[in-house]
Structure 1
Amino acid sequence: MTKRQQQQNLSQSRDGGYTIIESLVAMIVVSVLMIAIAPVMAFSVATRVQARRTELATQAARTYIDALRTGAIKPGVPGFPIPAPAGDLAGAAVPTVADTYCVDMDGDTAGGGCAPSSTKDFRVQGAWLNKDATGSDPTSKGYQLLVRVYRADSFASGVTLKAPKAAKKQSVVGSGLGDRTMPVVEMSTEIPPTGAASYNSISDRLKKP
């Protein structure tokens, strides 16, 4: 083997070594970039999931409100609003399953349509307030309505709901996949009387405290 051939072989050997090193460096760079990007991607996915859940929960709340206004949900029917403490609509107690109305989003009839294992279904709590109403039927005079929408899996075994008045509200941004112990959506509205309007009662409710 001539000296020239030896130099060529040595050069090829060195080039091969550099190729392996460059490959290792490239792998390290890609790994570092993936580690840096992964949390951002996970945050983005979680935000989209929570935004979609909030949108569906808002639809569930509107469905519930419409059912009350049309009389589809009446006193004595499961899910009819419970009385709120006098003068404190937001202080309505944390609900039990019996106090909620099921909104079935996945079409699964198991567990009454809202199985505790479901991540798509919602349970809606309503609370009413009207100092002029008597008994448990406020429909004749209308009432202020508080609506809280919970995930169905909020009522799974081992989950303790937080008092919504004392807890922070959920946000789409920064809430990850959400907190099962709090409502996804909370809103309030007015339900008009079913019979002759009680204008004095409506006026009193709409007055600023």
Structure 2
Amino acid sequence: MTSDTEISARIIGLYLGQVSEPWPGRPATAIAKQPTQSLQHLGWEGFESDAQADLKVHGGRDKAVHHYAADHYPQWRDELGEQAGDFGPGRFGENIATLGITEKDLCIGDVLTLGTAIVEVSQGRQPCWKLNAHTGVPDMAARFQQTARTGWYYRVLEPGVVAVGDGIRRIECPNPGWTVERVTRARLGAELDPETAAHLGRLPRLASGWAEAFARKAARLAPEDTSARLKGPGSG
């Protein structure tokens, strides 16, 4: 299925960061992205001026770029009150912020134009404890997981250049119905029926790590322990 309709969004922010160690005794991070107004080159594994600290869980071909819907920030401020007084585009370590599309609008495998680059939606974000530390909200990662307002990742199909103000257009939708929100809820939720899990394990263009996780759910293996991811090292 191809489609260039129903997507009307424009990039309002680009954010890049370098690795630092802001939390003594805990792993380094590059979550503190800074805004840029300059044209950015997007390569196979992300923006050339961006960095990731732990390539086992961040970055790589399947997670080259993180996109977050700035549409969500007003809701976070309403829900969290004073804790979220400074929440706005770029606050969650995303590379791209837009208005006009959310996890409900895009499907896994959607192919989009991003400036002169072409990218493909590969998976949702699997939030970790660094969100808690970075935002100052102790359960921010858990809230991300519960709401599925996690943003999503792209793999790069054709490198190019991207700038603030660029529009985004969908040119292919191979998995209609399997929205980022739906698949993220299935991945991060505790319960999932084996038939759905098996189907998602074979979903075309889904990131390999998530496909393998769905295969484990289909086989009804031991439930995933998320305590260390959501609360930090040593919390299990």
Q: What is the TM-score of this pair, normalised by structure 2?
A: 0.23
Structure 1 or 2: more helix by fraction: 1
Q: What is the TM-score of this pair, normalised by structure 1?
A: 0.25
